[in-house]
Copies of this chain bind each other. A is one copy, B any other.
Amino acid sequence: MKKIAIIGFGVVGSGVAEVIEMNKDKIKDHLGEALEVKYILDIRDFPDSPFADKIVHDADTVFGDEEVSIVVETIGGAKIAYEYTKRALSAGKSVVTSNKELVSTHGVELMQLADDNSCGYLFEAAVGGGIPIIRPLHRCLAANQIMRIAGIVNGTTNYILSNMRSKGLSYDEALKQAQANGYAEANPTADVEGIDAQRKLSILSTIALSGEYVAPGTINTTGISSVTLDDIEFAEKLGCSLKLLAVFTHPMFQKPACFVAPHIVSKKQLIASVDDVFNAILVEGNALGESMFYGQGAGKLPTASAVVGDVLDAALHEKRDAHVKKWYVSEKDEVILPYEEIVTDIIVKAAPSNVDSIKNAFGEYETETVLDDSSACAVIVKGIMHKEIDNLLSSVVGASWFHYMA
């Protein structure tokens, strides 16, 4: 009998208890012994929960119990979760989490602490919810240099953008509907301003760089709160979708780059057709080429399923399995390129009959006209450095631009 504790009995924490109960036979078969939730630590009581008898309020009970070898941290945030994670790891208990804020902020320290105490810190559920991405990226693609990652990693924003398009809603209307349906929080800032995506990109980029830490604060981030229905209809008119993408690029012999921003994505890309709360992460390796991982990026049971998968891994490979290569803080001044120096493809949009004006302004770049009618004109500009865009754009009357993924 393997005994674990869950700390934080919210959506994901209660999902973890449910998945362990629901699939106990499969889990026992996989593990070779039964898995039991011994404690659930929360400040609240849950008298109506089927797990009410597991609830405890005293952290010492959990961390002092040597029978408990694995702790599931589903508190969220980077305060109490941070303190409790340190306590658990210091006591030699492996910690499994879905907490992207904590991993992206304190991952370096927590992985070192796990290493020092011969236990593990596992976080498959922190990116892509239930979608396997951390382990495949680290282990299955271990023989690849990761050249590119482009992911829809936030379900809330993808739901809002999908609904704006399919129902013709404004951003505000779509946000309200998302809140009413439980897909956006009352305070939606972390999702709609791209902070959640930024944290997940920090985690993915660090793994892609074999542990060289990319701090979330260094990632230039634009959310979707300025996206209009016009923008979305413009993308559709071009045979594209408008998606919030978290992007990591690392061409051979060049510095890596990361940013989060809305992109106009060609429908030739499978990822352009990923709608609603679904997530998808495109990964390009120098040997593998392109691959994509798709599924439910959030939600109670999908996320819990990834957490319990990590619990089983921690139980089977106790005190010896590094989930990912240990993170470290680089001695370089900057790990990633400054945003202004990132080279990218863009679409420039302008009032009708301005194709020549755009082509003149961006004359030194490869361009391709993709729209020229009575409503507007649009030209793809390839391989331009961010810092050049605004200056060149200013010579075109009424022009705006979007990131573009061919």
Contact = CB atoms under 8 A, between A and B. Distances in A.
Interface of A: 19-20, 22-23, 26-27, 29-30, 124, 130-132, 135-136, 139-145, 210, 270, 273-274, 285-296, 299, 301-302, 304-306, 308-309, 311-313, 317, 320-321, 325
A41 to B, nearest CB: 21
Contact of A286 (B23, B124, B291, B296): B23
Contacts of A294: 270, 291-294
Contacts of A141: 132, 305, 309
A204 B124 CA distance: 22
A330 to B, nearest CB: 13
Contact of A288 (B287, B289, B293, B305): B305
Nearest to A274: B270
Contacts of A325: 29-30
A398 B312 CA distance: 54
A270 B270 CA distance: 7
17 contacts: A22-B287, A23-B144, A124-B140, A130-B287, A135-B135, A136-B136, A140-B306, A142-B308, A144-B309, A270-B294, A273-B273, A287-B305, A288-B295, A288-B301, A289-B299, A291-B293, A292-B293
A406 B87 CA distance: 49
Contacts of A135: 135-136, 139-140
B305 A143 contact: yes
A287 B21 CA distance: 11
A143 B292 CA distance: 22
B210 A30 contact: yes
Contacts of A308: 142-143, 287
A310 to B, nearest CB: 8
Contacts of A288: 130, 295-296, 301-302, 305-306
Contacts of A140: 124, 132, 135-136, 306, 309
Contacts of A139: 132, 135, 309, 312-313
Contacts of A290: 295-296
Contacts of A131: 291
Nearest to A25: B145
A140 B29 CA distance: 15
Contact of A145 (B26, B274, B285, B309): B26
Contacts of A306: 140, 288
Contact of A287 (B23, B293, B312, B317): B23
B305 A295 contact: no
B291 A295 contact: yes
B270 A143 contact: no
Nearest to A313: B139
B143 A26 contact: yes
A303 to B, nearest CB: 9
Contacts of A292: 292-295
Given A130-B287, A135-B139, A139-B312, 19 more contacts: A19-B143, A22-B287, A23-B287, A26-B145, A29-B325, A30-B142, A132-B139, A132-B140, A132-B141, A132-B291, A135-B140, A136-B136, A142-B309, A142-B312, A287-B302, A287-B308, A289-B296, A289-B299, A292-B293
A94 to B, nearest CB: 15
A144 B130 CA distance: 11
Contacts of A270: 270, 273-274, 294
